[in-house]
Structure 1
Amino acid sequence: MAIHLLLGAPGSGKSARAVAATRECLEGGARPLLLGFGRDAVAGLREEVGVNGVRREPIARTFHGLAFSLLQKHHISGPTPFLLSGAEQDVFIRRLLAEGLTTWPTAFSKAVESAGFAKELRDLLSRVVERGISPEELVAIGERAKRPEWVSAAHFYSLYLAKLAQERPGAIDPNALILRAVNLLTDDPPLLGQVRASFDLIIVDDFHEADPSQRMLLSLITQDSLLVTADPASAVGKFRGADPEGMVSALESMAAERRSELVTEILSVQHRTTSEITKVLNQIRSEIPRSEYSKAATTSRSGGAIRIENYGSAIDEATSVALWFQELHVIEGVSYRDMAVVTRNSNTELFRIAFSALGIPITHTPDLSLAERNAVWPIFTLISLADASLKPQFDAHQHDAEIEELMLSIYGEADMFDIKRLNELRFRSGSSETSLYELLNERNDLPTTRISKYIEGVRKILSKSGGRTDEILWKVWQLLSSAGEPAAMWQSVALSGGRKGEAAHENLDSLIELVQNASRYTERKPRSRVMEFVHEMQSQEFDADVIRPRRIERERVAISSVHRARGRQWRVVAIPSLNGGAWPNLTPRGSLLGSEEFVELQGRSDDTGSAEILKLNASSALLIDERRLLHSAVGRSGEYLMISAVTGEDSRPSRFFRDIGQELAPDSAGVSKVSDRLSPESFISALRHRATGEGGGMIAPAETTPERAAQILGFLANADVAGADVSNWYGYRPLSDDRPVAVEDEEIRLSPSNIDAFENCQLRWLLTQNGGQRGDSKEQALGILIHQVAEGLIQPDISASDLKAKFDSGLLAIDLGKGWVRSSYEKSANRMFENLLSWHAANNRTLLSVESQIDMHIGRVHLTGKIDRLESDENGKTIVVDLKSAKTAISKADAQATHQLSAYQLAVAEGGVRDLELAPPAGGELVYLGGEKLSSRVQSELGIDEVKQALGEIALKMSGAFFEAQKSKECRICPVKSSCPRMAAGSQVVDLG
């Protein structure tokens, strides 16, 4: 007997050797067992083994699949064993924590109820179970290491096992599955002998992903021959317990126990990757320990390309990747199915948008839990609402938010304008006390009709007693997929392809998965109510490990995490976002309960060590793990590779990016630009460069002379192709209009509220006054509402409750978003309302008028606007007041110099306030209502002649032909910075010499 170990980098032929050995064994009439890691990887191995006329189906399984089949096949008495999914285990742990039956150290008391704590506890227990450590042993380890949280975790673990056996008889903890199989075989020597005799050869692919319990099982069932392939530098499963550092020593121990030898063969020739990509792989693996078990790879393959890019934003990065893929597809003929974006995390939305914008089909696995997906959460909301409506204590007003959510869902197909219209209808008709639920049944001319039908349909389904959960979900599915309903249309849209077809596919897959989950749940709990199923699914923070339907992928770019990409290969791979803090991500994964430090401790010769040393070692191990992930990602590529990072306000390239860049492109510097070489604009640009003798890039061939390029441009210009006509080139034409805004003797309109904005930045004032900003924002709408409420303060008999009712009514008509966003705006609005009433109550001046119109002329200047409040002080003089919704007040010096109040004072002094005769002004006040505390700033009485002169000078500048862009602290949030020459986003990109 011998144990054979094949070591090699990605693409060196390890898996091919495993498949060949399995085929040879089958063709010779022997009985092989092929083991791998992950269902997708094993499915791929099974398909590889099954080709070339091999008729007998090979035994290809995951370790977990093998263990579960052993437990099921050899189950004798007691409840039938079933595997508890990871999501179900998470819910079970969170419920036990909520019951508070375990005492935790004081420092953890506030964290225990959080979902994050449950996740970290699950991670720690997973590492404990994988190593076969009992609760009693964990107590001893925690006491010796002086880690009271581990002792508490041990007590929780004991409670968990007892409760699991009591409440879920037959349930198998997924982390304990392998050890259950190990114990089964250890306790039954005849059975162990029978299992060993079942296999003539055991082959394990990617053995570097094995955890200690999987090694135990392998050691037990191995009898005669064992072939193992591995690459410790490519392990991606450390977070699941993989131990690549201890892999070789474990195999040496297995060989020693059998008085055999470990035969190691190193595969150093790369068959998949080109020389440049192989160079990157060698650079990364040179930084990974235990490199003595593998040699630097070599390859004879040439061709392909590698790009090292540093972009100015994440949007530019995603756009450039999509454009590069499109270019390789069109020019090099690379199929989209041979391309992939491999990421460190699951945040792939920008890439999905970029590819969709170019019409490039993509495939990805949803990162949301089942209950959060667009096709599923409305169903759970429908069931919950219908169930609540059947109860006597049902209060319809408490469910308005759910009605809105359903209307906006993919089943309701309404938009925010429909919601706004609905709310306005309620208040205008005097039915503000009517709930949306009640309104559903009163009107049939609103976008609520479809939702009303769904709620009533689900009510009828639930009202029929005795319905099984899976039957109820099936009936709800039939309701939503009947003729003309959204789910029915998805079936036809899915066949049409494109972006909408992809979304329809995802929706249908989610619904099928929902029905599968309901069926599985009903088999486990046949007497449970459907709401119990809904609550359990909504409590699961990640997907259960169910088998999903697999579609045949044609011509689709894969967008995958590095973990999901394991074992796969593509001709083209982009690895984005090698930014500091992202890749490598050195944030400790189990920092609260110290699961990584626990693993580090178990790897020592003893189980003691200071917390500082353990943390240091765990951090060092984390950096190595991140390098392994990068090594694995790079190894997915065969010919073309892009590695990119982003340099922005909050991001910088990481050490990994710099290391690779220094190796391959030491002279490169600066920020990469997005280049769309396939667009008409790029083609025109290339011709223009060639015509002016400045190159021409890939699109204008080398044999294209400047004269020929000019001829082509002329032909395109005659066809009215944009950009081809030389008379329209930037820099060739004079200014289109150099006249001033207002010619001599023309009236200049001046609004006091805009004067300070002009003084702060003339260009911003000009652009925003002429459409260069979005419509009313939430903040502007709230400011208008506050001013409307303030108008009511002039009524002597109005009460605070009347004002609050008016305020609440107006607030409902504003689209403030949903959830915490709406809550935040509502809190801010209520604070402004309370500050307004407080200031009004404390104000001793006499209110003269509100929203007073000013209309006066000063030479060419026509001054118009409104004054929020005019008040009389104790001396009978007039005070102008302006209400601000901002949180922060300007400085006292700026308040004294503000032109808005000085213009108001001028209008009062010169009789410019319409329909009012007022005493001379004595100053003004700015009242800031938006802050946590009320604040104000005053302006003293000003000289009228000086104000006239200042306003005249400002008006003259406003009417001019040139407007200066002035730099200030507000530039960062300027709505027109893309048109500002002082900002990078709006600076000139063409050097005119």
Structure 2
Amino acid sequence: MTALDAAPPAQLAHPVSLDASQEAVLDARRGPGAVVLGAPGTGKTATVVELVSRAIEVDGLDPQRVLVLTPSRRSATALRDRLALRLAGPASVLPGPLARSIASYAFGVVQADARLTGTPEPRLLSGADQDSDIAELLDRSALEAVLGEVASPGPAWPEHLGPEVRQLTAFRTELRDVLARLSEHGWSTDDLRAAAARLDRPEWAAVADFADEYRDSLGGARLGQQDPAELVRAAVGLLADPHPAAPEAPSLVILDDAHDATPSGFDLLAALAARGATVIALGDPDVATNTFRGAEPESLTRLAGLPTLVLETAHRQSPTLRALTAQLTSRIGAAAAGAQRRARPGHSVGPSGDEHSGAEAEAPELGGPLLALTASSPARERTLIADVLRERHLIDGVPWSRMAVIVRSGALVPPLVRALALAEVPVRSTAPGRPLREHPAARALIRHVDLGVGRAPLTAEAATELLLGPLGGLDRVDLRRLRRALRAEELAGDGARTADELLVDALSAPDRLATIDHRVARRAARLARTLARIAERHAEGATVDELLWIAWDDARVVERWQRDAVAGGTTGGEADRALDAVVAVFTTATVIVDTVPEATVETFLTRVLDSDVADDLLAPARTTEAVLVTSPSAAAGLEVDVVVVANVLDGVWPDLRLRGSLLHAPLLSRVARGLPTGDLDERRLVLEDELRMFSLAISRARRQVVVTASAGEDEQPSALHEIVAERERALREGDTGRSGTAGAAPPRREGAPYAAPPHRVIRARSLRRTVGQLRRVLTDPRESHDRRAEAATALARLAAERVPGADPDEWWGLLDVSTEAPLFVEEETVGLSPSKIESIERSPLDWFLDTIAPGESTPAMGIGTIVHWALESLSAEVLDPAAPPAVGVEEVWAAIEARWSELSFESPWLAEQQRRLARRYAVGLADYLRDAAGDGRAAVAAEQRFTVQVDRVQVRGIVDRMEVGADGALRIIDLKTGRPETNAAKVAANAQLGAYQLAFADGAFDDALEEALRPLRDRGALDPAAPVTAGGAVLLYVREGKGDQSYREAVQAVLDDEALEAFRERLRLALAAITVDQLAGPRTVGRYDYGSLAHRVHRVPPVTGDDS
């Protein structure tokens, strides 16, 4: 389908010139119909529009007898608008929308029958509702199994689909997919059980039992609700056996994008054909993107008996781009088609009506029709994409709306949108919906109601979430200021409550903050009043939308967000998305109340906060001048001048992971259709799906395709990127008539990243980055006087034009100090973590920045947490006298693997790399535990919390493991998954180990040890009369070992009294360093290091404009 925003409405209102093959399709309306195959850009949708126009305006067919269908609601909306423009005129009176999605038409058929028969009208069961129902039933079954209250055996899930697997979102997604496939093919649960027995698929038998249980237990709660597949299947039955008073079937039925229709959709066409309709289906199996929902590329063969027509001319693409598309599609199986691949490039008609030959569309002014670019990192890749887009717009004159960026999956869209907006590229997206609770603005609004009605308790964490959220209006500095003010009042009144307790108390009582005269307190008090109003109105029986309105109205952010959204830029984009999210919340509330009249406020909250599936809310189409960032499935029908296909990495695109690996829904579809499954090459099928999506992406471009990837130690461009790069090189060599010229890319070494061909240099063309570069030159004392003077002049010119950041009055470094008060009030106890002591010693300023704006967690940090948990769980088993003491690699690995599913990785190769690294950790940890046991050291504590006080400093921490040897010496173990520290002096001075030794010396572990040592003394493993003595502390590294060992120990010797006092003095000095009004830190830190989290706010290129 050709998207509406790809052409001016004025042009869409006029007829277009069709080629001979398109005219043949128009003639098919007077015959039995046809299956029409057309390569990308051959004008399938343009043919549909003219087909409808001629049927109505030339043949005189009643518009009510013409039905145009598409597989998706998005494409139906775009086609509906295009048809309305084409048919608009003084004599045109349309009875309603001519284009509908298959599910929408099926809903109308079922609804009409319900009205005729007096049965309840259908209601659409959303994916989110179904997911919630399935989760509830799975949770209930799991709980009954634990409690031993199972009334019936229930589904016999195979061992590999145990309770922990069935709690995963991915499992529920596959379960919903299998249930949909059953409806798609008209299968009963008995059919599924028979297939399970025939093919030895016990998981299908379990699904059949679950489906029966699902319908029995939840059918009453969802009376009349059906998912889209069930609606289409029901419509097929009603069309085959209609009610005597049912509406007349349409005379002409046209299906666009037929390659993305599911089996039930083709059964619907067959039922309409049986009622006398002329059916014409247009599609291209080579660009099918809906296979994950059950669409089958060879589905056009379901319309057997209809003649096949082929569109012969590719109007969109130039010869080079058409050849690239043909090269890619030639690698895909024939899918009962293939003739469309012979389409030849022809004359292209642009959206503004200009006609030119394909040879004239080779875009030499853009650097050629193909560019394959690589960057050194993902961040650099995003910057490169922004530079390419800005250059095309500013230098080559390509409108923003005539460019698009396509990524492999919808999950990659939001970060790219944010990066491009930050680089001052106007963007819009058609990213697939996310659950409302994942939108910051939506979650904040919902959480106000959640806490106000008391469904969730108001804790310190919840209070912090609201105050720091989009509606709360505070930042971390404000929150710290509020907590300090509350604590100061408490201390003044001789109270002893913590800041957390005081914060909860303040939001629980609207008048509690009246005694603090500060804007921060006033904002928090407003939030407290909002929660109180919500609670009061809920008690009076207010509806959920009324409670949501209280939270929204009291926040007082609407005018600011609207102003920011209109202004545009990065802030404007965030405001725009926030407003959309708020609208979606109110829309969802209305839909739930309308479809489930008995729904309560708690029903709504459970539905939106616990669901992992997004609602299918059709957002209004944006027609602003902006670059579209989207995924292949949402790009179907798009036509633009320039397409950037981004993140084409090995393991990302193509993504060769098998689909439906738990319940095998794709295999079920093949079985239902009677296709062979014995020698099925599933990986080949996945590869063909990936090729289809890539072919669709690159075929959206009329003038230029730019393919980008990042190349480094951990990532490489994929084979798809190399195909484009090789064709680009061949194109340039053909242009020069010789190889090895200056324009040719260097030969690629095996395993080396593919070098980007040296076309015109892509330069930064962003005001933001230009300002950053000028400011850096101006403030760098190493620059010459002349360069600094030039920079000052340029900044003055930009400031006069009100370019953000150019005026020195806007520079943070020149602003007045916001406060000179110290971080902590006098005599306040200051809590320190053992791991942060050295950070304070290095730079109190960096410690403060890391505390107030901590960095994001990484997969490596998540793996470290899981390995620590494994040590804790295994140590706990050893502490249990009834547990077997032997612990091997497999036991450690099983503990790690039990929580591995909690981690998420950007790509499969990264997940595999980290998995191998975690296996190495398991070996090192297992070998250490074996050696400790062999040396007679027994674990006496794991994850042991402690507190030790030194003057005003309260050191609070957790010890990973403590073990006692036969001689009574206690060693404190700190597990590390990073690279080992081999400098003995640094180990001896390690503050974290010093804190642990100080805690032992001051008796912080006495109570825990007394209880833990009793079993050892009782069984004679430890002399009851012998005291436990200090045995030092150890950094245990399990990433790499020393010599024959798979692990490495860095031992800190026992600290004597003098050393302990020296460590106490270190704590006092650390306290003095952070209880001042000005924190010390390095004046200059040099070039920003992307590999280090230290000094991350200094010299960041996107901020400073430093491209070197």
- TM-score, with normalisation over the residues of structure 2? 0.62
3-state secondary structure, aligned to 1:90: helix
Name the CA shift for 1:380/1:475 in 2 (closer, same or farther; >3 Å): closer
Correspondent of 2:548 among 476, 494, 501: 476
2:129 is the counterpart of 1:95? no
Taking the aligned partners of 2:505 and 2:429, their CA distance within structure 1 comes to 41
What is the CA–CA distance in structure 2 between the aligned matches of 1:463 and 1:103, rounded to whole Å?
A: 48
Contact 2:979 2:1037 in 1 (8 A): no
The answer to whether residue 529 in structure 2 is matched with residue 456 in structure 1 is yes
1:339 equivalent in alignment to 2:403 = yes
Q: Secondary structure of 1:559's partner?
A: strand
The 1-side partners of 2:852 and 2:338 are apart by 67
- Separation of aligned partners in 2, 1:823 and 1:893: 23
2:341 is paired with a residue whose SS is coil
Confirm whether residue 48 of structure 1 aligns to residue 99 of structure 2.
Answer: no
* Residue 233 of structure 1: how far off its partner (Å): 0.3
Relative to structure 1, is the Cα distance of residues 723 and 452 closer, same or farther in structure 2, using a 3 angstrom cutoff? closer
Report which stretch shifted further, 238-247 or 342-351.
Answer: 342-351
* Preserved contact between residue 493 and residue 501 of structure 1 (Cα < 8 Å): yes
2:416 to 333, 348, 351: 351
Change in CA separation of 1:823 and 1:891 when aligned onto 2, cut-off 3 Å:
closer
Asked if the contact 1:783–1:885 (Cα under 8 Å) also holds between the matched residues in 2, the reply is no
Q: Taking structure 1 as reference, are residues 273 and 979 closer, same or farther at Cα in structure 2, changes over 3 Å only?
A: same
DSSP 3-state at the match of 1:476: helix
Whether 1:200 and 2:287 are equivalent positions in the alignment is: no
C-alpha contact 2:424 2:766 (8 A) present in aligned 1: no
- The answer as to 2:315 corresponding to 1:276 is no
CA distance in 1: counterparts of 2:624 and 2:314, whole angstroms: 28
Q: Report if aligned partners of 2:374, 2:710 keep a CA contact under 8 Å in 1.
A: yes
Higher-Rg member (1/2): 1
Q: Is 1:221 aligned with 2:287?
A: no
- Matches for 1:349-388 after TM superposition, within 5 Å: 349-365=414-430, 367-388=433-454
Q: Quick one: which amino acid aligns to residue 620 of structure 1?
A: R
Taking the aligned partners of 1:177 and 1:144, their CA distance within structure 2 comes to 29
2:469 aligned residue: 409
Aligned CA distance change for structure 1 residues 439 and 938 (closer, same or farther; 3 Å): same
Separation (CA, whole Å) in 2 of partners of 1:478 and 1:152 = 46
Aligned length: 762
Mapped partners of 1:195, 1:648: distance in 2: 63
- The yes-or-no answer on 1:648 pairing with 2:712 is yes
Contact kept, 8 Å, 2:269 with 2:279, in 1: the verdict is no
**Residue 263 of structure 1: aligned partner:** 307
The CA distance in 2 between the partners of 1:220 and 1:407, in whole Å, is 57
Task: Give the residue type in structure 1 aligned to 2:100.
Answer: R
Pair 1:511 & 2:582 matched: yes
Distance 1:892 1:237 in 2: 52
How far 1:72 moved relative to its partner? 0.9
* TM-aligned CA deviation for residue 410 of structure 1: 0.8
Counterpart-to-counterpart distance in 1, 2:985 and 2:560: 64
1:33 Cα deviation after fit: 1.0
Question: Secondary structure in 1 aligned to 2:76?
Answer: helix
Post-superposition offset of 1:142: 0.5
Match for residue 833 of structure 2 among 775, 779, 782: 782
**Aligned equivalents of 1:357 and 1:19: distance in 2?**
39
CA pair 67-889 structure 1, distance change in 2 beyond 3 A: closer
Shift of 1:934: 9.4
Instruction: Please tell me the residue identity of whatever aligns with 1:588.
Output: L
Amino acid at match of 1:936: V
Pairing partner for 1:251 from 290, 297, 303 = 303
Residue 629 to residue 298, structure 1, CA distance change in 2 (3 Å):
same
Contact 1:185 1:191 in 2 (8 A): no
Deviation at 1:7, TM superposition (A): 1.4
CA apart distance, 1:813: 8.6
> What is the CA-CA distance between 1:631 and the residue it aligns to?
0.9
User: Do 1:420 and 1:815's aligned partners in 2 also have CA atoms closer than 8 Å?
Assistant: no
Between 1:446-455 and 1:887-896, the stretch displaced more is 887-896
For residues 136 and 887 of structure 1, do their structure 2 counterparts lie closer, same or farther at Cα, with a shift above 3 Å needed?
A: closer
TM-fit CA distance, 1:385: 1.6
Kindly, what percent of the aligned residue pairs are identical? Answer: 25
- Does the 8 A contact of 2:417 with 2:429 survive in 1? no
Cα distance change of structure 1 residues 600 and 327 upon mapping to structure 2, 3 Å threshold: same
5+ long unaligned stretches in structure 1: 256-261, 685-713, 725-774, 790-809, 843-849, 853-881, 902-923, 942-969, 981-987
- Could you tell me how far 1:503 is from its partner in structure 2? 2.2
Aligned residue runs from structure 1 range 797-816, under 5 A: none
1:65 pairs with 2:111: no
Q: Deviations over 1:88-130 (max 9, x none)?
A: 1111111122221433223212312222211111112222221
The aligned counterpart of 2:763 is 676
1: CA distance, partners of 2:864 / 2:981: 29
For residues 77 and 655 of structure 1, the distance between their equivalents in structure 2, rounded to whole angstroms, comes to: 59
Counterpart in the other structure of 2:127? 86
Judged with a 3 Å threshold, the aligned counterparts in structure 2 of structure 1 residues 173 and 825 are, in CA distance, closer, same or farther, namely closer
After superposition, what is the alpha-carbon deviation per residue over 1:881-911, rounded to whole angstroms, capped at 9, x for unaligned?
Answer: x99988489999853898979xxxxxxxxxx
The match for 1:230 among 266, 275, 283 is 283
In the alignment, which residue of structure 2 is the partner of 1:6? 36
Q: Contact between 1:370 and 1:376, CA under 8 Å: does it hold in 2?
A: yes
TM alignment of 1:287-306, pairs within 5 A = 287-290=331-334, 292-299=338-345, 300-301=357-358, 302-304=361-363, 305-306=369-370
Q: Aligned partners of 2:1094 and 2:278: how far apart in 1?
A: 70
- Alpha-carbon distance between aligned partners in 1 of 2:978 and 2:704, rounded to the nearest angstrom: 56
Whole-angstrom CA distance in 1 between matches of 2:553 and 2:833? 42
Q: CA deviation at 1:415?
A: 1.7
Q: 1:296-343 CA deviation, whole Å, 9 max, x = no partner? A: 332241232321112221112111111111111112211111111111
The residue correspondences of 1:864-883 to structure 2 (distance < 5 A) are: none
Q: Which amino acid aligns with 1:22?
A: V
Q: For the Cα contact (< 8 Å) 1:473–1:518, is it kept in 2?
A: yes
Change (3 A) 1:479 1:851: closer
* Deviations 1:381-411, CA, capped at 9 Å, x for gaps: 222222229xxxx975xx1100001111011
Specify the code of the residue in structure 2 equivalent to 1:322. Answer: A
Instruction: Determine which of 930, 936, 941 is the counterpart of 2:1051.
Output: 936
- State the partner residue of 1:156: 210
Q: Deviations over 1:227-274 (max 9, x none)?
A: 2211110100001111112423x122xx2xxxxxx3322223111122
Distance in 1 (alpha carbons) for counterparts of 2:627 and 2:981: 59
Letter in 2 for 1:361: P
- Whether the 8 Å contact between 1:326 and 1:360 is mirrored in structure 2 is yes
Shift of 1:137: 0.6
Q: 1 CA distance for matches of 2:378 and 2:638?
A: 26
Are 2:716 and 1:657 aligned? no
For residue 786 of structure 1, report the CA deviation from its aligned partner.
6.8
Q: Measure how far apart 1:451 and its partner are.
A: 4.0
C-alpha separation in 1, matches of 2:866 and 2:187: 52
Opposite residue 266 of structure 2, the aligned amino acid is R
What 5-or-longer segments of structure 2 have no aligned partner? Answer: 1-30, 142-153, 346-356, 364-368, 731-743, 749-753, 772-783, 795-822, 824-830, 841-847, 876-936, 942-948, 952-970, 991-1029, 1039-1047, 1057-1088, 1100-1105
- Give the equivalent residue in structure 2 for 1:439: 506
Q: CA RMSD in A?
A: 4.6
Instruction: Please list, as runs of the form range in 1=range in 2, the aligned pairs for 1:428-827 lying within 5 A after superposition.
Output: 429=491, 430-433=495-498, 434-440=501-507, 441=509, 442-444=512-514, 445=516, 447-464=520-537, 471-481=543-553, 485-548=556-619, 550=620, 552-605=622-675, 609=677, 613-614=679-680, 617-666=681-730, 668=745, 670-672=754-756, 675-676=762-763, 678=765, 720-721=790-791, 782-783=833-834
The residue number in structure 2 matching 1:710 is: none
Which of 46, 49, 54 is the aligned partner of 1:19? 49
Q: Write the distance in 2 (CA, Å) between the matches of 1:90 and 1:380.
A: 20
For the 8 Å contact 1:339–1:572, the answer to whether it is kept is: yes
The offset of 1:671, in angstroms, is 3.8
Deviations 1:601-629 (A, max 9, x none): 334446xx55xx44xx2221111111111
Q: How far off is 1:851 after superposition? A: 11
Q: Kindly tell me: are residues 621 and 439 of structure 1, through their superposed partners in 2, closer, same or farther at Cα, counting changes over 3 Å?
A: same
| Matched-pair contact (CA < 8 Å) for 1:340–1:572 | yes
Give the conservation status (yes or no) of the 8 Å contact 1:889–1:936. no
SS of residue in 1 equivalent to 2:166: coil
SS at match of 1:202: strand
Task: Classify 1:325/1:814 alpha carbon distance in 2 versus 1 (closer, same or farther; 3 Å).
Answer: closer
Write the letter of the residue equivalent to 1:153: V
Instruction: Classify the secondary structure of the residue corresponding to 1:563.
Output: helix
How many Å separate the matches in 1 of 2:123 and 2:381?
46
